[in-house]
């Protein structure tokens, strides 16, 4: 009898799992023009319910490192409610910030070391910049779905363990923009491989503003 609570707990844990789940696989291709080189491995692919219903996600702690005046990784995807730590590996100071709606932040100027952290409680895209070095940038996707993955260097992707249901499959790339297609999972067998195309021909790189919303000043001789 003493084992009954443990047995019941195990039963309810199993019952809470989806009865069927499958992997959503496919490939992202790009339409480009001369001189454009979108990075397939920086393409984020995710699955979200067609009904718009909320999904449970598990927040965690992630990292974007400043190294040689570059933010690594350039594109990061995190579950909503997660925290990102921004270590500084450079011998100079940085001031990371974002003006993105509902996820704006300003870490202030800080030198080499463990860095600072920021929690992201609102789904959406967060554009991260440095207020000292205008060429530094990163993109954080705050995800309201646990079903997401990055494509590989050839554009192939696999979003794992998606339960049965009707969904939207969405692909995003910084240069290629966003595209989506409906997908339905009705059993444990994976649906047919899905092809998505992203068109980067209208992409135009533009200079962002500093954290005050003004153009960057000319570089000074200061160390940082």
What is the model's pLDDT at position 220? 62
The DSSP string of 5-68 is HHHHHHHHHHHTS-S-EEEEEEEEEEE--TT----GGG-EEEEEETT---------EEE-EEET
What domains can be seen in the chain, in order of their start residue? 20-55+146-203 (2.60.40.10), 56-144 (2.60.40.420)
Residue 45: predicted pLDDT: 99
Which pLDDT score is estimated for 2? 43
Q: What is the pLDDT of residue 4?
A: 40
> What was the pLDDT predicted at 187?
77
Q: How far apart are CA 10 and CA 120, in angstroms?
A: 33
**What value, to the nearest 5°, has the Cα angle with vertex 23 and ends 22 and 27?**
150
> How much is the pTM?
0.88
Q: What is the pLDDT of residue 189?
A: 76
Name the token pair of 35: 């001189």
- Give 111's contacts (C-beta < 8 A, 6+ positions apart): 88, 92, 93, 224
- pLDDT, position 183: 96
pLDDT along the chain (224 residues), means of 10: 39 46 97 94 98 96 98 99 98 97 96 93 98 97 99 98 96 98 88 95 92 87 51
């Amino acid at each position: 009898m003493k084992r009954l609570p443990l047995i019941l707990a195990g039963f309810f844990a199993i019952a809470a799992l989806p009865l069927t789940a499958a992997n959503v696989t496919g490939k992202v291709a790009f339409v480009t023009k001369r001189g454009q080189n979108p990075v397939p491995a920086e393409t984020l692919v995710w699955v979200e319910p067609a009904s718009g219903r909320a999904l449970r996600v598990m927040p965690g702690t992630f990292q974007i490192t400043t190294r040689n005046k570059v933010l690594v990784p350039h594109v990061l995807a995190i579950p909503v409610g997660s925290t990102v730590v921004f270590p500084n590996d450079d011998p100079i100071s940085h001031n990371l910030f974002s003006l993105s709606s509902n996820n704006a932040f300003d870490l202030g100027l800080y030198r080499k070391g463990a860095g600072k952290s920021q929690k992201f409680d609102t789904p959406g895209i967060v554009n991260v910049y440095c207020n000292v070095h205008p060429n530094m940038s990163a993109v954080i996707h705050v995800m309201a779905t646990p079903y997401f993955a990055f494509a590989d260097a050839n554009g192939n992707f696999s979003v794992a363990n998606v339960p049965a249901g009707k969904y939207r499959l969405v692909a995003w790339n910084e240069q290629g923009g966003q595209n989506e297609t409906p997908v339905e999972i009705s059993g444990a067998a994976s649906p047919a491989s899905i092809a998505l195309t992203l068109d980067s021909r209208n992409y135009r790189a533009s200079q962002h503003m500093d954290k005050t919303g003004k153009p960057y000043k000319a570089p000074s001789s200061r160390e940082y």
